[in-house]
């Protein structure tokens, strides 16, 4: 049964996030972190971490990056979520970055953009979801998890009807708003058996949504969350395939995705019914893949990184070239520019030992 409830949006106060100051990018560890960018498909890399500030030159060289989200209407506008440095965005393809101060130094678990209004952005941090409608100048809290110890892990916005917003939790619940975050309903009859790490709305049909769970594989809805199907049958042939790391849509084909999991890389061309392994340099399960991306216009052009190595294939994985990462950190996030497929963004993360 759906649980309906309303949440009165309130202006996001600094105290809500637990931090009152602008992020200080002085995390312990090396300064070769933040964002790196390649203009030639990974052959060369340059750090792109300048942060706009009235107080003098600042960088995010020590920031830990979790994900990239590109504005679908403007590929030069890119948002990043971080482990402890809030949310940042660029409007010039990474030449400079802006940090909305109201988010403090929070861990941002997910970001989602309204395709019909580029100034409307959603983010989840800790147990709350927040929203801006004025291009990050002010934020409002639109949802708060009432259970202690339960975090929000992902957020997604329907590109066809942008009033439909989905939020996932560490307990495996999915809540949905049909009015842009004013009211919410739990749309899972029971929680999934594992934390939901990512929600992916199908690029060609917004009623189709894939959920990547931490250890219970992939689930799918074709009716905007009214019912869910376990897609584990097609993954049963691959040991470790249910341990989810990422799911990347192939924008050059319908119903095509690449799954990043403990097994390695798997590709589906039929919406997750069947999967085929993508051959890698290492054997199944031998190397942890931390990030993966593909050319939006050519699904045969693949990139991924392990803890120390960057891999590139131009023929769907039949052959790979390798190059050492430009950083001592792991490559935690990766994205190919929708404007220019020669440009690759690499986010980095300092692993605690």
Determine which of 72-81, 110-119, 182-191 has the lowest per-residue pLDDT on average.
Answer: 182-191
pLDDT (average), residues 141-170? 97
Distance CA 340, CA 230 (A): 36
* Confidence at residue 321, expressed as pLDDT on a 0 to 100 scale: 98
- Residue 54's pLDDT band, with cuts at 50, 70 and 90, is confident
Partnered with residue 47 across adjacent β-strands are 36
- Residue 191's pLDDT band, with cuts at 50, 70 and 90, is confident
- Residue 138's pLDDT band, with cuts at 50, 70 and 90, is very high
* Confidence at residue 1, expressed as pLDDT on a 0 to 100 scale: 40
Name the DSSP letter for residue 15: G
**Cβ atoms of 88 and 81 closer than 8 Å:** no
**Cβ atoms of 268 and 278 closer than 8 Å:** no
Does residue 22 have a pLDDT over 50? Answer: no
| Domains of the chain with CATH codes | 3-349 (2.130.10.10)
- Tell me: the pLDDT tens digits for 221-272? 999 999 999 998 999 999 999 999 999 999 999 999 999 999 999 999 999 9
**Cβ atoms of 89 and 108 closer than 8 Å:** no
pLDDT (average), residues 299-324? 98
Give which of 224, 226, 246, 81 is closest to 159, Cα–Cα: 224
Global pTM reads: 0.93
**Cβ atoms of 70 and 78 closer than 8 Å:** yes
| H helices, E strands: number in the chain | 0, 31
φ, ψ for residue 137 (rounded to 5)? -70, -40
């Amino acid at each position: 049964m759906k649980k309906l409830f309303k949440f009165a949006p309130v202006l996001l106060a600094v105290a809500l996030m637990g931090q009152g100051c602008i992020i200080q990018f002085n995390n312990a560890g090396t300064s070769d972190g933040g964002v790196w960018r390649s203009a030639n498909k990974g052959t060369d890399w340059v750090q792109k971490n300048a942060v706009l500030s009235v107080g003098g030159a600042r960088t995010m060289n020590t920031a830990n990056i979790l994900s990239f989200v590109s504005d679908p209407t403007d590929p030069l506008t890119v948002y990043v979520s971080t482990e402890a440095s809030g949310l940042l965005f660029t409007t010039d393809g990474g030449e400079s970055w802006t940090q909305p101060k109201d988010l403090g130094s929070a861990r941002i678990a997910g970001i989602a953009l309204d395709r019909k209004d580029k100034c409307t952005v959603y983010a989840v941090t800790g147990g709350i979801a927040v929203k801006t409608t004025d291009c990050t100048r002010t934020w409002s809290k639109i949802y708060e998890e009432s259970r202690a110890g339960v975090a929000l892990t992902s957020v997604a916005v329907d590109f066809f009807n942008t009033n439909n917003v989905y939020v996932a939790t560490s307990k495996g619940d999915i809540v949905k708003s049909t009015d842009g975050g004013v009211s919410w309903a739990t749309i899972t009859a029971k929680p999934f058996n594992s934390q939901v790490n990512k929600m992916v709305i199908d690029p060609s049909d917004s009623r189709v949504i894939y959920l990547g769970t931490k250890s219970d594989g992939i689930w799918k809805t074709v009716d905007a969350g009214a019912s869910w199907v376990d897609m584990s049958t097609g993954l049963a042939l691959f040991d470790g395939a249910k341990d989810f790391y990422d799911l990347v849509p192939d924008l050059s084909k319908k119903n095509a995705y690449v799954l990043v999991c403990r097994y390695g890389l798997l590709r589906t061309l039929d919406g997750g019914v069947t999967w085929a392994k993508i051959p890698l340099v290492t054997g199944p399960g031998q190397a942890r893949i931390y990030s993966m991306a593909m050319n939006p216009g050519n699904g045969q052009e693949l990139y991924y990184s392990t803890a120390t190595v960057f891999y590139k294939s131009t023929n769907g994985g039949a052959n790979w070239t390798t190059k050492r990462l430009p950083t001592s950190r792991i490559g935690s996030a990766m994205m190919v520019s929708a404007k220019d497929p020669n440009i690759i963004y690499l986010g980095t993360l300092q692993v605690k030992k």
